[in-house]
Structure 1
């Protein structure tokens, strides 16, 4: 299957080239030329890894053989995404991978792809993180020969456990604390891809959700959810809108999902756009759900394409800080320990459900990654799981840089 540039549809590339290249001309996002329609009943009887292979095969056919794809799936996804009842609704837990966040799905599959697509030339992975991408990408590519990883993150704007998970690895992993917000980190990544010298000398690639391989991996757990509990309303906590893009793609492919709710925090560019028709990003504000502190979501063109081509409308809601705290407490009263991101999704789901509907909300990170915030809200101390506890004891290896392209350029070319 070919993938085309949403800004310049005449630019078409193979799956392998789309993964290696990351972005198309003029920073355009790649999108599949078609979305295959799959038989939900057939998929429902397959073992999990065989189901994943069947979902991914149409996209990677011509790039990877069936046997190679089977091996990639087995290596990328040794963990599951359980659907846990919470009252009449469900929590989709996406934090059972090695870095305790949903980003493990996409990052690990991308690593499997690049490991097999390498041309022998060095690759530099440049990515920005608002919290969880950094750890997932860093762990997925740690010690992979021929791969250098630079992770940018907003200094002082992610939780310490999040930071420690990826800023303590060393080796081929370099972490840069940027004196700015996530949108500035993301802008630096985009600028790097416009610099032909940097791209050529570094073999530049991005592991952000702009890379199509990450989105395809995220489609998988939306199918898991839909086949386990069909016809639910699904609330997705949204930052860069990659997760929602994957969910909409799954639905377009035949996954029995009733509809979606785009849940944001106070960085509410999309809810305001859907309500008033004006795209008016504001300055990013820091919130409890810091991984969603994004005012200019890169994946929105893909969402817009899906909504337009399918004739769908999208429900959306912005959740305040006070309501986020209240939602964490409400989940606890129902016997479920959540953190701010899933609380935003839970609150937005309850606000948008119609009579007779049941829903699911995505839990994108382990509560212990936000132990300080959750502990303060609930008046309790959270125990850190093993990976976090070990990371907290290691020295932080990050360097601080200004939110300045020349500073990053010098780092890339060093």
Structure 2
């Protein structure tokens, strides 16, 4: 499908997301690819990103004036069914389910990650918020099963561990995603924003413990890597939408630090490292958070003006077919699914801000 670039950028991304990344046939039908354009040997369906996709579908329904509920529901039902199969697999879901051989060769498949399960849980919760199925459906059962899995990934203080190795497998290498850190605030915030008040008390308890562990002092110890740092801020925004505003000062201070790192609307992945990549997901994350704060008059004039440059940088990299590359250097047919979802949402936020309207909590709860 080739789309005319006269369409609004967010509409072009939306069409690509509805058309391209979700598998329609085969053993992983319903799963969502991490990206498109890879050969079969390296392509993989991704539970984390399929959870994002459920949240994005709910966001799409929330923001559209006249959503195509049939198309959305078909994709949602297929994603829920695939995720349920992954949760039921021996040992739990693989982090990456490769379409070709080699699942066991990826170190990510040696452990269960609370972040990945958290994104599945958020997606299952979000499925009931945008016109989707009511509780008691497959999505509700998926939420319960994922919540139970998350309960097995807690540290002694009640907060979530980053990951737990599968029986008989070595611990994954030490990286920001494999050790407890501020990125887990995105799990906590989503749980607090989307879990029904009378459900899953143990999951909500873990979310509060994770919030207390990682939000305090965030600005003073902000990760040098932009992607996990922005995950933390997204989690604080969602926690606020769920009624937890006690760390608002950390959110604003940390955003201002990241905004200061972004010269001419460009935020590199690793602060202070020359030649570090410019990632489109990072640009979209910065734009989403900035639009919320600008809509609340919590940015100065320079910070608010910077958002236009960030939005322009995102739009510049949307491909002719509507996809978005992972980095500025990539082009052609290699497009990244979560970058496209982040960017679609970020541009919707920016459009609303440009129209002089604040970002509603109903949108913030559904941050992808």
Give the alignment's TM-score, normalised by structure 2: 0.30
Greater helix percent: which structure?
Answer: 2
Greater strand percent: which structure?
Answer: 1
Q: Choose 1 or 2 for highest CA Rg.
A: 1
